[in-house]
Amino acid sequence: MDSDCLSKYTCKICNTLPRLPVLAEDGEFYHEACIETHFKKCIDSDESISSPVTKKPMGTQTIQPVTIPRYIEKLTSYEGLEQRSQDIDDSSQHETNSEKITLTKEKASHGSAQHMALLGRWYLLGEEDGIDCDVKRGIELCQAAVLLGDCNAKAYLGLCLFCGFGVEKDREEGFAQLVEAAFEGSAFAAYKLGCYYFSGTHGFKEDWRSALKWLNRAEENKHLLTYVESSNLHKYLTLGSSYLTSDSDLAK
């Protein structure tokens, strides 16, 4: 067993190894319940949200890495039936992912803007198991999809411009493209804008009312978001609504 790897993925709040870890903005892994409780305590006590580890300011966005849970399972599983069962599950998952990727590539090659954008996202973010991150290829696919009118592709390119990811950073143009994409129906663009206003990161001033405006727009098309994005959206809307309600009560 690789103790260094296990230590890396151990929750820094409860010091136990989560089966489904989330990666927070401070670059550390946590049990989802632990880090969410930490966020809530900060908010309830009117303190700035900070990292439990570094104590530096951080946002509340978390992601659930696709491959890490299976890696942890392999590190901690026993030899024998459990390991063989896990190998079968991994093989089945790999086959399913392979079929999805092949189908997406095929449809993209036939001119589907939606599938070009999706494939471009996978290359840009490296979030699909079986697709290696290739920023240049991702940008090319999204540019082609934008020419065909895909609003999500515009959102992905806007994010690249805003963050200087694979292209020269242009925050003003990147922000404009995210806003435009959100109004055209991109749940991803509305979600990202809401997250940035919510956490006050990436140069945004923390503004919960603006955050809720964009998050509610994302909610209208939440079926287009990934599972992790949809889950975070629900948490942000709940926290934001609770905060504004408390703020309103104090003002009375």
Per-run averaged pLDDT (10 residues), the chain, 252 residues: 63 78 83 83 84 87 68 54 41 62 92 94 83 90 96 95 89 95 96 89 85 93 84 85 58 44
- Whether 112 is covered by a domain: the verdict is no
Residue 67 identity: T
- Whether 236 is covered by a domain: the verdict is yes
- Whether 173 is covered by a domain: the verdict is no
* Residue-range definition of the domain harbouring residue 191: 185-252
- Whether 237 is covered by a domain: the verdict is yes
DSSP letter assigned to residue 191: H
pLDDT at 245: 62
Query: Model pTM?
Result: 0.63
Asked whether 182 and 198 are in contact (CB, 8 A), the reply is no
DSSP letter assigned to residue 50: B
Residue 5 identity: C
Residue 227 identity: Y
Nearest by Cα to 221 from 185, 179, 180:
185
- Whether 189 is covered by a domain: the verdict is yes
Burial label, 116 (beta-carbon count in 10 A; 0-12, 13-18, 19+): buried
Nearest by Cα to 211 from 165, 176, 244, 180:
244
104's tokens? 């997406």
Neighbours of 66 (CB within 10 A): 16
Instruction: List C-alpha distances in Å: 78 to 8, 39, 92, 93.
Output: 20, 35, 20, 20
- Whether 37 is covered by a domain: the verdict is no
pLDDT at 88: 37
The residue to which tokens 């997406």 are assigned: 104
pLDDT at 84: 40
pLDDT at 7: 72
Sheet arrangement for strand 29-30: 29-30, 22-24, 62-63
- Whether 174 is covered by a domain: the verdict is no
Alpha-carbon Rg for the chain, nearest whole angstrom, is 20
Could you give the number of structural domains in the chain? Answer: 1
For residue 67, the Cα-to-chain-centroid distance in whole angstroms is 14
DSSP letter assigned to residue 48: P
- Whether 199 is covered by a domain: the verdict is yes
pLDDT at 82: 43
